[in-house]
Amino acid sequence: MSEAVSPDLLPLTAQDGPDGLSVGGVSLVELGRRFGTPLFVYDEEHLRRRCREAVAAFGPGLVAYASKAFLCTAMARLAHEEGLLLDVASGGELRVALNAGVPGDRIVLHGNNKDDGELLAAVRAGVRHVVVDNFDEMDRIERLATVHGLAPVPVVLRVAPGVAAGGHQAIRTGGTDSKFGFGLATGAAAAAVRRARSSGAMALEGVHAHVGSQVLDAGRLADGAATIARFAVESGVAGLTVGGGLGVAYEGGERVPSFAEWATGVRTAVRDAGWTGPFVVEPGRSVTARAGLTLYRVGTIKHIEGVRTYVGVDGGMSDNIRPALYGGRYEAFLPRAPFADRPLRARLVGKHCESGDILVDDAALPADLAVSDLLATPVTGAYGYAMASNYNKLPRPAVVFVRDGGARLVVRRETEDDLLRLDVPGPGERPGAAGVAQVTARRLTTA
């Protein structure tokens, strides 16, 4: 493969011009200079369009954005403005959604091990419902209801339907051997329905299943939906959620189902199963992945004769753990010459202290790639920033939204002071001891 990067991997407003590739009317080269690298860039128009497409395919009020894919206050606000509900999977995600002004009744709380604090915060925020995962959580809700005198908590029951799908073992969730949900095959799901109905602490609103993530076969998503829909009909509940999971293309030439195809498949499947009511979906990756890309600066190129070429950039597994964790495959291109041929084969690596710190194992790149070049990896908008870490004490990147020729910083870059923020000074020590070199700040101004 030496052809140029496929436009299908780029954000929708990406355009080639004299200054190289622009997104949202802003040159990526300019963004790299202005905000420094590594940098997550999101095409706001793309994000909004994906939200609208999802609502058009499934119906108003029937799409919950799975915020784990990418969440910050600006993203929560955007999804809410576009009419999506928010699926949060922890007290922290709930906090961000509330901080964005998303009303409680537009939020659903997930999680296989919610603690008292998370449950109480959700109930106090008036969440639409809590997706209850297990009997211990039911115990907890009943205890909290007694202690705090809560009105019956609206609940949806998470079911393990025995249908698992997805791009990697780690992200297949719906099987019987799963930490998530009440098993259908074991009878636990039916028992959970009975218990929720007989409990004064819970108001049973429906059932839920999520089979897995990065699913490229819409048929598998329909199979999962059919199974949980049959159970919903049998148990006579009023609500049905069929989860998220629609996959995206990470490399050129991969074919992925559209929201409309996903919707048609699921609609047919649940109807065939006898479900006549509406159903909710929870897309995460398919909303944000392609809208985002990561900009890096090339710092070193090493040719090992007869072996391979390594291209080292200023980020790595701390801003994209997916290759290391799931064998995730990506492409790379140069924003200054986005559609140039890419005859050079190289391993794109980060700056972390291990050999597994690979961003693209066998990247195709232009032959004139040079140190100091700005380089981009597309389709990093889901589970990139969301899973970023401070490994090797790298400050996490900034995030910008671009639209109509303007760029706005929505998450600032971490500084080295941020890296010391949680360290508790010993007796007599000052926080953030003297002599700390502000390397980060320097990099920002010289990029």
Q: Which active-site residues does the annotation give?
A: 353
Q: Which two tokens stand for residue 79?
A: 């999804």
Which of these, 22, 1, 2, lies nearest to 13 by C-alpha position?
22
Minimum CB distance to ligand LLP, residue 330 (Å): 12
| Nearer CB in complex with ligand LLP: 134/214 | 214
Q: Which of residues 333-392 bind ligand LLP (CB under 6 A)?
A: 383
Minimum CB distance to ligand LLP, residue 256 (Å): 12
| Nearer CB in complex with ligand LLP: 27/67 | 67
Among 129, 230, 322, 351, binds ligand LLP (CB under 6 A): 322
Identify the three-state secondary structure at position 215. strand
Q: What is the Cα–Cα distance from 44 to 400, expressed in whole angstroms?
A: 9
Q: What is the Cα–Cα distance from 147 to 141, expressed in whole angstroms?
A: 10
Under the criterion CB under 6 A, does residue 310 sit at the interface with ligand LLP? Answer: no
Q: Name the one range near ligand LLP by CB under 6 A: 62-70, 101-109, 307-315, 403-411.
A: 62-70
Length of the chain: 447
Q: Name the one range near ligand LLP by CB under 6 A: 228-236, 242-250, 295-303, 428-436.
A: 242-250
Q: What is the Cα–Cα distance from 9 to 249, expressed in whole angstroms?
A: 7
Residue with tokens 């809700």: 141
43, 24 contact by CB (below 8 A):
yes
10 Å CB burial of residue 445 (0-12, 13-18, 19+) is exposed
| Nearer CB in complex with ligand LLP: 290/322 | 322
Under the criterion CB under 6 A, does residue 137 sit at the interface with ligand LLP? Answer: no
Which of these, 124, 123, 73, 130, lies nearest to 102 by C-alpha position?
73
Which of these, 108, 111, 230, lies nearest to 163 by C-alpha position?
230
Q: What is the Cα–Cα distance from 419 to 383, expressed in whole angstroms?
A: 22
Among 80, 285, 336, 352, binds ligand LLP (CB under 6 A): 285
Minimum CB distance to ligand LLP, residue 108 (Å): 9
Q: Name the one range near ligand LLP by CB under 6 A: 199-207, 283-291, 306-314, 371-379.
A: 283-291
Q: Name the one range near ligand LLP by CB under 6 A: 61-69, 227-235, 342-350, 368-376.
A: 61-69
| Nearer CB in complex with ligand LLP: 228/346 | 228
Cβ neighbours of residue 195 under 8 Å, at least 6 residues apart? 135, 138
List contacts with ligand LLP (CB under 6 A): 66, 68-69, 87, 110, 171, 173, 210, 213-214, 243-246, 282-286, 322, 326, 383
